[in-house]
Amino acid sequence: MQSSAVLPVLFEVLPRVARIAAYIAVGVFAANLVVAFGLVERIAGLSRYLTSPANLPDEVGTAIVTTAASTTAGYGMLAEFRESGVLDDRATLVAVTINTFFGFVQHIFTFYWPVLIPILGREVGFMYVGARAAIALAITATGVVAGAVLLSDRNTTPVAVAETDGSGGAVDAAAADGAGGGDAADSSDAADSSDAADTDDTLRETVEDAARSTWDKLRRIVPRLAVVYVAVTLLLRTTDLESFAALASPLTNLVGLPGAAVPVVVAFAFDTTTGAATIAPAVGETFTPKQAVATMLIGGIISFAVSTFKRSIPFQYGIWGPEFGSKVIAVNTGLKIVFIGVAVALLVA
């Protein structure tokens, strides 16, 4: 392949890879620090209502909280927990499923509220966002149930917390031994100085260990992420993805939507904002509010075929590798399609 075709792709892909790598670095580094400093109990308190019934360790709660702010960082934390042996593959899939609603939450403030609802109007906008929220919540609930049924202590090993507690006890014991002899006041002062020095050394070593672990993770993930993104982008330049739109007509006919739904579904499948702007003027004339929401949800089903190829495969393969990344994509996409189908059926019933 000519370099003239590859260079534009590199300029397009590399900033995206760098941005994702930065988020992954934040997630992995935070995961290491949270475990090393024993902060799991404080951060994961609320999420324990989900992790405990699902037989997941408290560490997963930190990833859930992080996902609400950054999906990429949350996935980075889960990847670190899987890599360190806190979660096996089955437990990781359950954790990824539970993360779904929290990944949706951040989009409310970054896209749905400021962009989509103003385009669609209050009634249709809130109906659509509510439907998407219910779908995400149903997937999260499915993850909790799956964890309760499928997971046990054999699938999780929260050894990192135990090791952290043990190291803290060793430091305290060493300080106590150092204060055992000599004058009481002098020993106290010496112990305080020793404690402060030991604390500083321990803090620096902990941060350095977290940084090294993060760097090792990035060295494995980023090259793979870049290669897959470049390959997929090059393939997209030579492939006509409009063939996916052929699925629109059978789906809209199946649920009894107006013929005008087909171009809306096609537009929505490739660009959510364009699809919303396309259907908004037709609400109340061609579409009822429920039909409009159902049409957009069907557009979401078709868009999974496109977005999976364009974004999910490079991202998930980059983080997990092809084998486990394929399992994550299959679970995510399968559950979304099932629950979107249920939502559409309820809307057009």
pLDDT of residue 39: 57
pLDDT of residue 171: 32
pLDDT of residue 170: 32
Residue 277, domain extent:
2-157+219-348
Q: Is residue 44 part of a domain?
A: yes
Q: Is residue 208 part of a domain?
A: no
Gap between the Cα atoms of 41 and 49, Å rounded:
13
Gap between the Cα atoms of 111 and 240, Å rounded:
28
**Does residue 267 contact residue 274 with C-beta atoms inside 8 Å?**
yes
**What residues form DSSP beta bridges with 287?**
283
pTM for the model = 0.69
pLDDT of residue 238: 58
Q: Is residue 162 part of a domain?
A: no
User: Please, is 157 exposed, middle or buried when counting C-beta atoms within 10 Å of its C-beta (0-12, 13-18, 19+)?
Assistant: middle
Q: Is residue 198 part of a domain?
A: no
pLDDT of residue 137: 94
Site of tokens 């009822």 = 288
pLDDT of residue 42: 56
What SS3 class is residue 248? helix
Q: Is residue 283 part of a domain?
A: yes
Gap between the Cα atoms of 85 and 207, Å rounded:
20
H/E segment holding residue 236: helix 184-237
Count up the domains in the chain and report the number.
1
Q: Is residue 20 part of a domain?
A: yes
Q: Is residue 204 part of a domain?
A: no
Could you read off the pLDDT tens digit of each residue along the chain, which spans 349 residues?
A: 455 566 676 677 777 677 767 766 776 677 667 666 655 455 556 677 888 999 998 888 888 878 877 788 889 889 889 988 899 999 999 999 999 998 888 788 777 887 888 888 889 999 999 999 999 999 999 999 999 999 998 999 865 443 434 333 333 333 333 434 444 444 444 445 555 555 666 777 778 877 887 787 677 667 766 776 666 566 656 555 455 556 666 767 777 788 788 888 877 776 787 788 888 888 888 899 999 999 999 888 877 777 777 778 888 888 898 899 999 999 998 999 899 999 999 998 8
Q: Is residue 186 part of a domain?
A: no
Gap between the Cα atoms of 176 and 180, Å rounded:
7
Displacement of CA 210 from its chain's centroid (Å) = 21
Gap between the Cα atoms of 140 and 156, Å rounded:
19
